[in-house]
Structure 1
Amino acid sequence: MLFFESIRDRAVNTWNQVVEKSSDGKLTKDQKFCLKFRLPEGEVVSKEIAAEIDITSKLVPGVPKRSSNIPQGKLYLTGHFLVFKDAFDSRTCSFNIHLLTVRKVERSNSDIYGLALEITTFSSTVITIFLLGMRSECERFALELRLQLKKNLKDVKKLGPFIHTCYSEYLLSKNKVIKEKFDSVPSGGLGLVFKFPGDARELKDKSKMKLWFDYFQSDGRNLSIIKTPMFYKLVRVGLPNRLRGELWEVCSGSIYLRYDNVGVYHKLLDDNKGRTSVAIEEIEKDLNRSLPEYAAYQSPEGINRLRNVLSAYSWRNPELGYCQAMNIVVAALLIYMSEEQAFWTLNSLCETIVPGYYSKTMYGTLLDQKVFESLVQQTIPILWDHIVKHDIQLSVVSLPWFLSLYISSMPLVFAFRILDIFFLQGPKTLFQVALAILKLNGEKLLKCEDDGTFIMVIKNYFQTLHLSAHGESPHPKFRQITNFQELLVTAFKEFSIITDDMIDKHRSKHRGGIFQNISTFVKRTEIRNLPKTPNLNSGTLDIIYDRFYSVVESLSLTTGGGSLMDFEAFKTFMSEICVWAQFDNPTNNNDAFLKRLFIKWDIDARHELSLSDLVRGLNTLVEPDLMTAISNFFELYDPKKRGKLDREGILEISEDLLYLTTPWKDGYVLDHLTNVAIENTIADEIIKHKTINGINDVEDEDIKLPETFNIDRQKLEQAQIERYLAGASNFIQRAFEYAQPAEDDEHPEELLIKELAIDSAFSHNKALNPNSPVTVNLPTFRMVILADETYELFFSKTFRESVQVSKPLDSKFNPIRNLRDMFDGLIADGREVANKVRRRMDSAASNALLQINNNGGYESKPPKSKLGEGEDDDEDDEDEEERDDDFGVISIDDKDRALLLGAEAQDLLIKVSESKSGSSTTANSTSTSASTDAPPTSSTSTDAQTKRMLFIATKSDTNLIDFEV
């Protein structure tokens, strides 16, 4: 279940912040600036000005002061960096120079420019900056530069130890180009011990090292390196093994993170040593599956380094922890980098370069798969039509390329060449290489008609990257071109049209759909893993899922959303679906019952509910079986499962029942009995109208409801209120009347109470007399509930229907909605009332004769069917109709009318209220009755309350929300 709680994880949030906000213009100018130049988050541009740049080096004598081609662009100043980018082509000249590396700043006389500054860095590079603009603007920029340099003076002492970790400095020191002394060789990757992939001689590693040695002398290094066209050429031809780690840092910007957070990596390991977590367990499982073809990862040293980096990142980013393919990427980095270098490069990858790739939902990778498909359709339409025609899943082929940055797809020696360019120019490299792979294998792929063959063609191609691309060519130079070289040329020449802006546009187009697909997938999978709930169907679970996370996230914004529901969120959730939870009655402790539910459903005692806990609890709350529903309610007050309740438990139940029945007890909502009373009143009005007009036999469709009719609203309301108040009183009285004496050893505290003097006024009242401890077990509790028709109806139907779990999330839920005014303009169910009127009129003559012969007496017949026997509905209704005052010829007293209202039941006013609020609800009503186990006595009100009733079942039409992947 941990996987499915991850949709709100930090990686997705990071992706939204970095990519989505950028495209929507929600990022600030400074945030966009940091992303563009790969600077640490938080850098703010204090000044910017147009400038021309000239670069020389004191380490390379004889170079002319001014070059013929002077780069022109924007110069930016932040709190820690001096940044420049050529206005026409960033590859002409660009740099991010850390202000700590600036050794001297001098003014330079210029008759052409407003002001010229000559900056010397610690790498002996001299950068002459010709500021363009008004003299005052140039002076302000120079002043701001001076102020920022002063602010950074306190951190200059950090620079010395840091540059001793850079191999570029060691290289120049060893060759006596600089005077810096090194006590030892800077730490590096596992390749120093287990050898680097590939043949160093074939890769011309020494030649590449010499080229970079010259470049470091002329254009700086590490924190003060300047990127010129030569820089890009040297990266394209492949980096030397010993310098690859440092140059990956420079290109990705992680070198700045490492400098700003010296010691953080080792502190994370020390502070969390010996700790365990779910992420740590997952890491341990994957350690031996990380680049098993490389010897280092078959040894304790390599495994331990990999473990350290992955564990440290999981502690630094606990919400993300550890994700799929992260182990492969880190294993590749560690071949060329130290642990600390790999750690900060992983941070840059996950949070800046490819946000969302390494998250539990892989949101970034899935989005880029959709982008890749769009680019294939746009650039290779013939191949795309073939893929669509044969229903080939392109993402199955390309997903591992993007997720592992090609490391797990092609031989390592070639994958690292791809990584060189990827760190330099960003994610567009992945798309360019992927398109080139399909382009170069286009003819073979057009012959594939299934996924398996498609994958096999690509796999075979990766195994032949070292072979000649034109082995049969008569020209020797052509035969020397390998498949990999052809791949690079195709990727970065033919598909140079794939730009960052193009990718961003495609991402913006598909982002919403991808996020919805992931959300739907996570939702459906989590719902499938929920416990079985026979009382909640799949559509209802969909709605509960949406409401659960809607409430949890809205109340936990400060934590970025969560997957567990605390008590405050639980109260909000229940108030949205339960009629009784919306009433604020100061005489009752509204939280008491909800708190009891919360504790009962919190099976792990963690003071929070998961979605599984909530669903399991709601399933018991809407239990349709009467006996089981009563048992579930009883168990709420018997947490120790003793099977009986003491005096306090009985009183707590009575208080909670008063709270739960508030909507009906106060006349805000009408129950089944009152609904049927309204229905009978309407039928009586129609019958009287037909009788007056001499109509004795009509078809159902001829019966129409009157537009207006009189209903004694106050009387019906008052009757319902009195029933619920009487029910509460009867519950207390019967509970203590039928309660059993408690044993003294179970209530030792009673021994002390017995010695106290008890007022004789309370001695006869078991509920108030502490000298008479009593308990109520489950069978007795059931008997007490079943003895009252109002409470029996409440547990069999009213309470269950008040929990509207299938109420759509997006509808405005207001169960009160002026219920006191719902009597105005009542509209009954015409068909139901018409059927009743027809049956009454058919038996009018015999009923009238029977009543006259009895001299106004009232003869009742016992109901024919019992619960579950399935007798014909019409026969049951006829038996009940013989008790009704059909024509108003003979009056009946209020007691008999109360029995009548209780014997015929429910649904009309629910339909009426829903029709007023614009909803359409239909119900098919059946009425049966059954007697309780208690023996029948005289025809009194008490008799009627002890009879077991079966009430009308209704089904409201609810529009469920369907989610499609």
Structure 2
Amino acid sequence: MEGRRSSEIPHGPNNPLKDVLQHRKRDETFRRLFRLPDTEKVIDEINVCYICDMDPDNKSKLPASAIVRKNMYPGKLYQSQNFLAFQSGDVASMTKPGISHQSFILPLYTITRFERINDDHHRSALSFKTWHKMTHYLKVDAEKTACEKFCDFLKIGLEANVLNMKGSLKLFLSTCKSEELLQTPEGPIHISDPIGGLGLQFGFKSDTTVEKDDEKTAIWVDYFQENGRNLTLCKQPYVFSEMVKEGLPNSLRGEIWEVCSGSIFLRFANHGLYENLLETHKNEVSPSMDDIDKDLHRSLPEYAAYQAPEGIDRLRRVLTAYSWKNPDIGYCQAMNIVTSSLLIYMTEEQAFWTLNTLVDQLCPGYYSSSMYGVLLDQVVLERLVEKYLPNITLHFKEKDIQLSVACLPWFLTLFINSMPLPFAFRILDCFFMEGPKILFQIALAVLKAHEKELCEVDDDSELLIVVKNFFASLNLPEGTTEEDYAKKFTIFKQLMKSAYTDFNKVTSDKINKYRKENELKIIGGVESFTKRNALRHVKNTAHFGPEEISNIYDHFFGALYYAKDGHEQPEMDLIAFTKMLEHMTTWAKPANINSSGNSENLQVMQEVSEAFILRLFNYFKSDKNHFGITLNDTISKLGEILRGDIMSKANFYFSLYNPDKSEHLNNGELHTMATELFWLMTTLEVEFDAWDAICNFIALSAEYSNTKDDVDALLALLKQEVNPDDSTYFAKHVSILHNALMGSDTPVIEVTLPVLRMIILTEDRLEQFIQTIIPASFKLEKEVIERQKGLGHEIFEALFVEGRKLANTMAYPDHLTPNGGKSQSASSRHNSPAVSPKPRSTRSTNSVAVSNKASEEEYEFV
């Protein structure tokens, strides 16, 4: 199947969902491996051999057999919509401990020249030249047709990215520190203002001297010149990782963090969005603002910038912008700690996108109201401790000691609040390069270093004392001598050595395996705890019993889950509220205008239904100026509909149709009430004559409003004959109601609350409907099968439905189909001056060149 494009992967005839899920898993693995945006999907992949240290000017003079084997790295080359990515080794070796890989990620908008070369033996090779003048040369280990397909798709992708290269690349590169360090008077990039974070003004909490830091910077500059930089950085095996482990130079730390995390690609794709978020919402107050303001001055109190307006303002802007971009999370505890660290080395925009990557990809679920991600990782850590440090596990079980008491803050703040900042930043260096596995390795190393002491503690408090004493031994107070610093640095280096050597078998694959084994248990535990905690805070039970309250909770948050695609949200908007009613009642389900029956009739019923649900939504909101409906609102207002006597329910209906809180209901409000009650009666298929009951309700309203003389005329309008078998029966009666109550000759009707109560008591059918039939239409208790599901099954079902939907519509994107220019996008490109084909002389037997000349650069896809 090598080299086959995704649309050609055969779908199982009986299980298309399985194929969809396999493709999804492959895409997720690809994005995780190369830290790419969530929108990227694998278009094609082929086996190649990457040739290092090959002078592009000499490659044509050397036969393939003359290439020194030590410079050859077999691996796989992947292609997505906007990236080429290479990793050496096979799939099995990619996550093995102790193996370093040759890898690179090339955004297509950084490739200025692409060439496919065939030698005399009809073997193919690919050559890529980047904006930074580096050439990548790869021998293709695949059939000729597979190589041709790969190249066809690649040319389309390169053409689609030319505008990014011409319009955005140079501007973006001027925001990169590496470009500032390597700029030359004759070069295309000229940067005058220093690029960096708060450290430029307030200093860096460095673990090294200025001289040593300058030496590190010089080494990285040499590395950039040989291996590309920022967007085109190539990671040489062993060399790159060892340079990171040695501690990054202060000037380049921010850029290397965003390169390793992948946030640099997000920043390029969304350049300017950060400033736009702040500008768009400059006159608004974020719902998270109170929580953000509380934590601003608690962020790295030992760093001077966060005791000054400059630092506080930058931190506030980044956290606020994130709360606007991702309102489902908004702001959560510990985000301030991580972001304040980023801002020491990064600009606001860099920190903003790195925070996005951290929350969404590197540490999913850490920064949420339930913190399910970090809770899950505490269970994973316990599994790892049981495997590698069994004596600690046995002792803690015997003493009933909770490991997470000490370790949870390490993970939540990425050790920033535990370690002195110079050492914490060294951990962040490794974290952005290695991913979350380094957190587990360091935690295990800390526990191993104190295994003997930990096996003697008797309770949680003694556990905390042991670990706090260790971290205190690393403190670097003002006036620390060079000798004392050397001792503390030695302790830290021993810790990191232990993490990498003693626990090198703690791989990302192993962590993900343990996560999958325990995630449903954690989700269930979080769900149960959250539910118990929420129910304890219910202010008004509205005469519901504990089981009924529990079921209302399930309906409430179940609707939120599906309406918000699984994202957390404490309040229901109209969509979620409608979902809840659809599950609670039969009358809230949308009318099927495509079913048998008159479409006009069903359309009118749907409009009345939507109006009634919107009215309920606005009434349920306790705070009319707020976002939506809380759990307390739901319980309280459901109590008004379902509990109490007929007098209290009359109060509910009077208030429901009296939004301006006047003393009486007027003609328009009565018209709306009568229409919606008639719709409810029709939908619920009451046994009495619904229309006659509504007519009597209107007549009594007129009679009690001192308009007795007009009752007969009003009834004459209402009692127009409509055949019960008429397909427009409902629509015609709605029209009759409107003409009777809203016509020019209609008498003025005013119904006060006492009058409404009297009318309901007089009209037995209306009393029965409000007192018994409507409450009975609410099914608070879930079906038995639903109660057995749990959130885990709900999540699976949501994925299943989504997968089925994808399976039914899955096709390869038209704009990536090499069909001779017949696709829509290819057609549109034909009329575009961006890229035009022209013949080119090469030694290849079947090469085709595509070039585009810009003001300073020639882009060629050969």
TM-score normalised by structure 2 residue count: 0.70
Name the SS for the 1:204 alignment partner: helix
Tell me the residue number matched to 2:138: 129
Answering whether residue 175 of structure 2 is matched by residue 165 of structure 1, we say yes
Tell me the residue number matched to 1:371: 380
Name the SS for the 2:24 alignment partner: coil
Deviation at 1:429, TM superposition (A): 0.8
CA distance in 1, matches of 2:273, 2:84: 25
Deviation at 1:105, TM superposition (A): 5.0
Deviation at 1:241, TM superposition (A): 1.2
Name the SS for the 2:70 alignment partner: coil
Tell me the residue number matched to 1:799: 772
Tell me the residue number matched to 2:272: 263
Deviation at 1:132, TM superposition (A): 2.5
Tell me the residue number matched to 1:292: 301
Answering whether residue 36 of structure 2 is matched by residue 39 of structure 1, we say yes
Q: Are the structure 2 counterparts of residues 243 and 963 from structure 1 closer, same or farther at C-alpha, using a change threshold of 3 Å?
A: closer
Any idea what the Cα deviations from partners look like across 1:898-919, whole Å, max 9, x if unmatched?
xxxxxxxxxxxxxxxxxxxxxx
Answering whether residue 400 of structure 2 is matched by residue 400 of structure 1, we say no
Name the SS for the 1:531 alignment partner: coil
RMSD of equivalent CA atoms: 5.1
1:335-734 aligned within 5 A: 335-465=344-474, 482-551=490-559, 563-564=571-572, 566=574, 573=581, 576=584, 601-605=620-624, 609-625=629-645, 628=648
CA distance in 1, matches of 2:618, 2:156: 61
1:796-835 aligned within 5 A: 799=772, 802-803=775-776, 807-810=780-783
Q: Are the structure 2 counterparts of residues 787 and 302 from structure 1 closer, same or farther at C-alpha, using a change threshold of 3 Å?
A: closer
Answering whether residue 52 of structure 2 is matched by residue 52 of structure 1, we say no
Name the SS for the 1:448 alignment partner: coil
Deviation at 1:550, TM superposition (A): 3.9
Name the SS for the 1:27 alignment partner: helix
The one-letter code sitting in structure 2 at the alignment partner of 1:169 is E
CA distance in 2, matches of 1:143, 1:125: 23
Q: Are the structure 2 counterparts of residues 528 and 181 from structure 1 closer, same or farther at C-alpha, using a change threshold of 3 Å?
A: closer
CA distance in 1, matches of 2:126, 2:757: 93
Count of aligned pairs between the two proteins: 712
Name the SS for the 2:407 alignment partner: helix
The one-letter code sitting in structure 2 at the alignment partner of 1:306 is L
Conserved 8 A contact 1:56-1:218: no
Deviation at 1:513, TM superposition (A): 1.9
Deviates most, 602-611 or 534-543: 602-611
CA distance in 2, matches of 1:76, 1:238: 30
Any idea what the Cα deviations from partners look like across 1:574-624, whole Å, max 9, x if unmatched?
894589999999999986988876665455457965433332222233444
Tell me the residue number matched to 2:216: 208
CA distance in 2, matches of 1:267, 1:650: 47
Deviates most, 448-457 or 530-539: 530-539
Conserved 8 A contact 1:191-1:335: yes
Q: Are the structure 2 counterparts of residues 401 and 22 from structure 1 closer, same or farther at C-alpha, using a change threshold of 3 Å?
A: farther
Deviation at 1:77, TM superposition (A): 3.5
Deviation at 1:495, TM superposition (A): 0.7
CA distance in 2, matches of 1:198, 1:777: 75
CA distance in 2, matches of 1:275, 1:726: 52
Q: Are the structure 2 counterparts of residues 142 and 302 from structure 1 closer, same or farther at C-alpha, using a change threshold of 3 Å?
A: same
Deviation at 1:362, TM superposition (A): 2.1
Conserved 8 A contact 2:299-2:336: yes
The one-letter code sitting in structure 2 at the alignment partner of 1:75 is L
Q: Are the structure 2 counterparts of residues 183 and 132 from structure 1 closer, same or farther at C-alpha, using a change threshold of 3 Å?
A: same
Q: Are the structure 2 counterparts of residues 452 and 161 from structure 1 closer, same or farther at C-alpha, using a change threshold of 3 Å?
A: same
Name the SS for the 1:269 alignment partner: helix
CA distance in 1, matches of 2:197, 2:257: 13
Tell me the residue number matched to 2:89: 87
CA distance in 1, matches of 2:671, 2:271: 65
Any idea what the Cα deviations from partners look like across 1:316-357, whole Å, max 9, x if unmatched?
323332222111111111111122221221222122222222
Q: Are the structure 2 counterparts of residues 188 and 22 from structure 1 closer, same or farther at C-alpha, using a change threshold of 3 Å?
A: farther
Answering whether residue 301 of structure 2 is matched by residue 254 of structure 1, we say no
Tell me the residue number matched to 1:711: none
Conserved 8 A contact 1:115-1:139: no
Conserved 8 A contact 2:245-2:430: yes
Any idea what the Cα deviations from partners look like across 1:807-857, whole Å, max 9, x if unmatched?
4212599xxxxxxxxxxxxxxxxxxxxxxxxxxxxxxxxxxxxxxxxxxxx
Tell me the residue number matched to 2:333: 324
CA distance in 1, matches of 2:469, 2:415: 15
Answering whether residue 121 of structure 2 is matched by residue 115 of structure 1, we say no
CA distance in 2, matches of 1:261, 1:219: 26
CA distance in 1, matches of 2:83, 2:685: 72
CA distance in 2, matches of 1:455, 1:480: 21
The one-letter code sitting in structure 2 at the alignment partner of 1:510 is N
Mark the runs of 5 or more structure 1 residues left unpaired by the alignment: 1-20, 468-477, 669-720, 743-749, 814-958
CA distance in 1, matches of 2:746, 2:504: 93
Tell me the residue number matched to 2:847: none
CA distance in 1, matches of 2:261, 2:575: 45
CA distance in 2, matches of 1:304, 1:464: 33
Q: Are the structure 2 counterparts of residues 561 and 598 from structure 1 closer, same or farther at C-alpha, using a change threshold of 3 Å?
A: closer
CA distance in 2, matches of 1:373, 1:277: 38
CA distance in 1, matches of 2:468, 2:475: 14
CA distance in 1, matches of 2:107, 2:302: 39
CA distance in 2, matches of 1:792, 1:75: 72
CA distance in 1, matches of 2:104, 2:684: 75
Q: Are the structure 2 counterparts of residues 65 and 302 from structure 1 closer, same or farther at C-alpha, using a change threshold of 3 Å?
A: farther
Conserved 8 A contact 1:114-1:138: no
Tell me the residue number matched to 1:75: 77
Mark the runs of 5 or more structure 2 residues left unpaired by the alignment: 1-17, 59-65, 95-99, 477-485, 718-739, 793-862
Conserved 8 A contact 1:288-1:303: yes
Of the candidates 159, 165, 173, which is equivalent to residue 156 of structure 1? 165
Deviation at 1:540, TM superposition (A): 0.9
CA distance in 1, matches of 2:428, 2:357: 14
Identity among equivalent pairs (%): 38
Deviation at 1:419, TM superposition (A): 0.9
Conserved 8 A contact 1:356-1:364: yes
Q: Are the structure 2 counterparts of residues 579 and 311 from structure 1 closer, same or farther at C-alpha, using a change threshold of 3 Å?
A: closer
Deviation at 1:30, TM superposition (A): 3.5
Higher RCO (C-alpha under 8 Å, 6+ residues apart): 2
Tell me the residue number matched to 1:313: 322
CA distance in 2, matches of 1:197, 1:346: 20
Deviation at 1:423, TM superposition (A): 0.8
Deviates most, 803-812 or 428-437: 803-812
Tell me the residue number matched to 2:811: none
The one-letter code sitting in structure 1 at the alignment partner of 2:173 is I
Larger radius of gyration: 1
Q: Are the structure 2 counterparts of residues 153 and 634 from structure 1 closer, same or farther at C-alpha, using a change threshold of 3 Å?
A: closer
Q: Are the structure 2 counterparts of residues 799 and 189 from structure 1 closer, same or farther at C-alpha, using a change threshold of 3 Å?
A: same
CA distance in 2, matches of 1:792, 1:116: 82
Tell me the residue number matched to 2:192: 184
Deviates most, 24-33 or 527-536: 24-33
Tell me the residue number matched to 1:222: 230
Q: Are the structure 2 counterparts of residues 383 and 732 from structure 1 closer, same or farther at C-alpha, using a change threshold of 3 Å?
A: same
Deviation at 1:197, TM superposition (A): 0.6
Name the SS for the 1:239 alignment partner: coil
Name the SS for the 2:333 alignment partner: coil
CA distance in 1, matches of 2:70, 2:576: 71
TM-score normalised by structure 1 residue count: 0.63
